[in-house]
Structure formats: structure tokens, C-alpha cells
Structure 1
Amino acid sequence: MTQTKKFDFRIVQDKDVWAAEITRRMTARKTIVSKRKTGFATEAEATTWGEKELKSFLDKLVERNERKAKQREVRTEATAAKDLAADVWREARDIADGDSKDYSNEDDYESDEAK
């Protein structure tokens, strides 16, 4: 299995104009264009733009992933705290209900001989 980059850039020539594209590998066979700029006079200009934009694109992606990870962590902690509070409430309710009911086994079943 070949290892390819998830994000890359490619240079495309359309007649006398060059275009640079930031691409994302969606599946093993499918690549989609995330960002595109056309109108470059030379291949070198398009390559320079592609390298610069790819770096910027990946930096933004890393920042977004870190931000989402922090949000997920906060959300997970809030859910854990909510579940803990619910468990404490249930235990307090069960203890309160347990004190009011008497579960003695002495009079639950009368034998047939006693009747």
C-alpha cells in the first residue's frame, strides 16, 4: 500500500495560463480540490503560491483541530460531571426511600400451618 499525503498541491496548465490547486485525498482513488487559484503567468509563480497556501491551509487546519479538541474535552468533562451528579442524586433518593420502607422477612409469608 502506498503512502500518500492527505493534503498536497498540484500545478495545472490550461493553454498559456497556470493554475495551482490545494488537493485533499478523499479516498484511495478520489482527490478533491480544496482551494484553487488561476491566472499565473509561469509555473514558478504557481508553485510558489501553492507551497505558501498549502502551509497556511495546514496551519489553519491544525489550529481548528486543537480548538475542536478543547471543545470536546470541555463537553466530555461536563457530561461526566452531569452523570456524577445524577448518580449522587439517585443514591440519595434510594437511601431516602429505603429508610421509609421496612423489608423484614418475618411476616412476608405465613406458613399454611399457622392459618
Structure 2
Amino acid sequence: MSFYDNSHQDRMLNATQKLEDATFDIEMSNAILEDTISTEMDSVQELKRQREVLEDDNRKLDRIDGHLDESNKTLKRMLYRAITNKIFLIIMAIVFLIIIGVVIYLGFFVFKKK
């Protein structure tokens, strides 16, 4: 019975060792899982922060786009007024030239005959 007892004892020691190895593997897996969860939570928090930054940037860009649209309209109005003013000045110059021409004509040809 001594052989049976030794064999049984060896099997028990072997089973105990396998159980301890499996327990160690499970503990290591749990530690890795906890580390992974912690890293994942940090990543989620960082992604949330980055999303908030991107949303804030998007709002700022929308405001800038609105300001640029308003500036574009203002510049178009200014260009229209500048062109209108130049046309008005050209017309006024032509009218003055006509008046000067009429005065010279009247001065040399109409009033000189008298």
C-alpha cells in the first residue's frame, strides 16, 4: 500500500501544483484585466476631453465663419460704393468739361461777334 500511497500523494502534489499554477495564471489574468480596464478608462476620459476640445473648436470655427461672411458682405458693399463713387466722379468731370467747353465756345464764338 505504500506504492499506492506514494502514487496517490504524488498525484495530489501534482494536482495541487497545477491548481496553484492555474490560480497564479488567473491572478495574473485578473491583474492584466484590471490594468486594461484602468487604461481603457483613462483612454475614455482622454477621448471625452478631446471631444470637448473639438466641439469647442467647432463652435469657434462656426463663429469665425459667421464673422467672415459678415466681413465679405461689408467688403462687397464697400466695393459697390467705391465703384458708384468713381462713376459719379467721372460723370461730374464730363459735365464740368461740357460746361467749360460751352463757356469757351460761347466766349469765343457767340459773344465775340457782338
- TM norm structure 1: 0.50
Give the Cα–Cα distance (whole angstroms) in 2 for the partners of residues 67 and 81 of structure 1: 21
Q: Any runs of at least 4 consecutive aligned residues in structure 1 with deviations exceeding 2 A, and if so which? A: none
SS at match of 2:62: helix
Q: Which residue of 2 aligns with 1:86?
A: 54
Among candidates 8, 22, 39, match of residue 71 of structure 1: 39
| Number of aligned residues | 65
Q: Which residue of 2 aligns with 1:44?
A: 12
- TM norm structure 2: 0.50
| Distance apart, 1:57 and its partner CA | 1.1
Amino acid of the structure 2 residue aligned with 1:52: E
Give the Cα–Cα distance (whole angstroms) in 1 for the partners of residues 12 and 69 of structure 2: 85
Name whichever structure is richer in helix by fraction.
2
* Higher RCO (CA-CA < 8 Å; seq separation 6+): 1
Name whichever structure is richer in strand by fraction.
1
1:50-102 deviation line (CA, Å, top 9, x unaligned): 11111111111111100000000111111111111011011111112112324
CA RMSD of superposed structures (Å)? 2.4
Structure-to-structure mapping, 1:1-115, within 5 angstroms:
42-102=10-70
| Distance apart, 1:44 and its partner CA | 1.5
Gaps of 5+ in 2: 1-6, 74-114
Give the Cα–Cα distance (whole angstroms) in 2 for the partners of residues 62 and 100 of structure 1: 56
Gaps of 5+ in 1: 1-17, 19-40, 105-115
Give the Cα–Cα distance (whole angstroms) in 1 for the partners of residues 21 and 68 of structure 2: 70
Q: Kindly name which structure, 1 or 2, has the bigger radius of gyration based on alpha carbons.
A: 2
Give the Cα–Cα distance (whole angstroms) in 2 for the partners of residues 101 and 52 of structure 1: 72
Identity of aligned residues (%): 8
